Structure 1
Amino acid sequence: MATAPLRPLETSVLAEIDRARLVELTGELIAAGGENPGGTEAATVAILDRVLTGLGAIVHLDEVAPGRANLTAHLGGDRTGGGLLFLGHSDVVPAGHGWDADAFTPREKQGRLIGRGATDMKGGLAAVIAAMAAVHAHHPQLPLSLVCTVDEEADAIGIAHYVATEPVGSYTGCVVAEPTDLVAIVGCRGAANFGLQITGASAHAGRPADGASAIQAAAEIIAEIGQDTERLAAAAHPVLGAATWNIGTIAGGHGTSIVPDTCEMSLDRRLLPGEDAHLILEHLLDRIRERLQTASMPGREKITVRGQLQMQMPGFLTDADSAVVAGMRQAVRDVSGAGELGIWTASCEGGYMAEHHQVPTLVLGPGEINTQAHQPNESVEIDDLLTAARAYALFALRHASNNAPTPSH
């Protein structure tokens, strides 16, 4: 699809987006940190609050946990919401090791801005704010909103609190500013985290039949999950692909000469639309217990298995031919991007918004999740920051025009 000519208002709005200011804001957000686990998002939220309030937004901070507040900001209209909604998160993963310099001291190198969160997702947040500011400067009545949650990188308590307490709004679409390399992501699977606790009976390793090995029971569970993975692969979604399992951690036992009486496992399960994580856990536990009844292991009758749902994040799927998707792809093309379409292997909080507000949702942002996010020397292309901000602004203008109420006669 070819680029479209810009209207005078669009040209004026895009000219408002300043590269240096965008880089400065991104760097300020990087320096604010917000490692999760290990810190709070308070410094990042304080910057967002200050900048958005300075633009004239009504900003609401809703504390989810001490020092951890969700931020909701409304610009334009009656400053209570409606129109286009942007979504982001204020936390970052821990810096970890392997950096060439301090992870939270932003620095430019060869056209990239380096620092923890540059890609995931301080750059996306800065681009959203730059776009909101530019649009508001020339079209102050156009309603724009930003929701920025805490704890996205761990247990998603921020978004869970938001959907439990925030009324359904009159939004017309949602753009999640996660790093997609400026590809319009129209769907992703959801995710659920489960914890399993296996209890057996200890005994001397010289007489293992006197006990019941929790680790051996865990091996049976791993085999059961492997079988379920094959079943899921055979029932893949035509667009999103198959639901999957991943065994993230396993720990148990007390020593080489002791039959282990405890073992714990953490599991990741990617969800297809319509799947319920509570039912998935219930069915898994049922299959595990059935398997253990016939397992060829000593003391199997002494084994107990408990499980908890620790986190779930719904997926979403937006019609690739919808006006929202087509409009964003065109906006990206019109600011010199490729305007590509895709599906994500990651999960994000967009599914919550799609479900809660019942709006078409897509994910698009600067940076690349697989090669940059959650890695040492995380960085984002500065040109991509600018392209994202310009695309957001252009899309916001056109989206508002396309969703304007029809005059009554």
Structure 2
Amino acid sequence: MEASTLQPRRLLEDLCALDSTTGREAALLPALLPALEALGARVEVHEFSPGRCNVLATWGEPRILFSTHLDTVPPFLPPRWEGGTLFARGACDAKGQIVAQLLAAEALRESGVAWLGVAGEETDSLGAQEALTWKDRFRSCRALINGEPTELKVATGQRGVKNLRLRCTGTAAHGGSPELGHNAILELLDWLEGVRRIPLGRDPDLGPEVWNLGTIQGGEAVNIVPDRAQALLNVRTVPGSSFQARVEALRPTRGEVDLLVDEPPSLYPALAGFDRAFMPFGSDAPCLRALIPGLAAALAGPGSIRVAHTENEHLTMQDLAAGADLNLRLARHFLQEQP
């Protein structure tokens, strides 16, 4: 790539020095807005609740849309350098994506490009939903390139998400006379034991179906037979999944299943000349691709999900430069295709 007016190392450190954990995304504006203005972008900030905002930067009539998220998971970890590596919360997820995408956008300014930073990807994806109000800005867009730490590979897609709540009701009784009650926790545990034996699917592009028992709650006191219990399951589904149906088939008489989140799997196109891999995480790409008339999307970026959300989160400057190059090559690939 040609020399940039940005200072990538300084910009990444400045972004990581600001605490933008979910709900505080607007805290990035003091570092982000000057960088966008230095690139000559037309900038719009949509603050949809106190401290929360989306940022849209455009250069001409956009034909490529770069996007990533402004928020990070807690706790805030300030930046520190070890040689050419920056350790910080958000170093690769996703403040490093911001810098890599802006470097690519700078090289494409004469071609028509946009960059979108959204709030809430780590929790409620509210920013991505709010961003759909800007859909009329992208009528000429060929593709969305969404930034996440994919180790410089292009994602084959992403698994769907189902959050299930399993509830059991019982009958309360004195703990000294458990035969007079019906223990909701024990019934829930029996149900979960059956769930653990459910065979899981596998998709050639998206990898294995997996699920996690995230929380389990029940009862009031140690000397009361519990009359209610619940468990929350997070399921990463593949096409053709039968997991929810099998859970419901195992439901005990006093059990109920509530579907709290239901996002279908998404597949992204294979692109000639780019390495592909399935990713174990989700992103805002399935929602944001609705901004593009043809729904074309790619999910890619520098850094590794293996260190994201950890105390060891980091990004090397070599990876950052490679990520900028990858974003530029992806954009040029889509620009060269026929509409």
TM-score band, normalised by shorter chain: 0.7 to 0.9
Out of 162, 173, 183, the residue aligned to residue 203 of structure 1 is 173
Following superposition of structure 1 onto structure 2, how do residues 342-353 of structure 1 map, counting pairs within 5 Å? 342-353=277-288
Contact 1:316 1:354 survives alignment (8 Å): no
User: What SS does structure 2 have at the residue aligned with 1:376?
Assistant: coil
Matched residues, number:
337
Partner of 1:35: 21
Match of 2:69 among 63, 86, 89: 89
Output the CA distance in 2 between the equivalents of 1:195 and 1:120.
29
Quick check: 2:145–2:298 contact (8 Å CA) kept in 1?
yes
Q: Normalising by structure 2, what TM-score?
A: 0.88
Question: Where does residue 115 of structure 2 map in the other structure?
Answer: 146
1:72 aligns with 2:41: no
Backbone CA RMSD of aligned residues:
2.7
Q: Deviations over 1:208-232 (max 9, x none)?
A: 23222221232133134224x31x3
Aligned counterparts, 1:172-251, within 5 A: 172-227=142-197, 229-230=198-199, 232-233=200-201, 236-251=202-217
- What's 2:33 paired with? 49
Residue 110 of structure 1 pairs with residue 83 of structure 2: yes
Candidates 7, 12, 15, aligned match of 2:2: 15
Q: The residue matched to 2:71 in structure 1 has which SS?
A: coil
The residue aligned with 2:130 is 161
Partner in structure 1 of residue 267 of structure 2: 317
Q: Secondary structure at the match of 1:373?
A: coil
Q: CA deviation at 1:273?
A: 4.6
Q: Which runs of 4+ in 1 moved over 6 A?
A: none
Deviation (angstroms), 1:173 = 1.6
Amino acid at match of 1:56: G
Aligned to 2:296: 360
Instruction: Identify the residue that residue 326 of structure 1 maps to in structure 2.
Output: 272
Q: CA distance change for structure 1 residues 64 and 307 in 2, over 3 Å: closer, same or farther? A: farther
Q: Verify the 8 A CA contact 2:55 2:118 in the aligned structure 1.
A: yes
SS of the residue 1:292 aligns to: coil
Unaligned runs of 5+ in 1: 1-13, 97-102, 294-302, 330-339
Corresponding position of 1:125: 98
- Name the TM-score, length of structure 1 as normaliser: 0.74
Give the number of the structure whose residues are more often helix, by fraction: 1
Matches for 1:257-336 after TM superposition, within 5 Å: 257-273=223-239, 283=245, 286-288=248-250, 291-293=251-253, 303=254, 305=256, 307-309=258-260, 311-320=261-270, 325-326=271-272, 329=274
In the other structure, the counterpart of 2:323 is 388
Question: What is the match of residue 107 of structure 2?
Answer: 134
Q: Report which of the two has the higher share of strand.
A: 2
SS in 1 for 2:37: helix
Contact 2:132/2:290 (<8 A) preserved: no
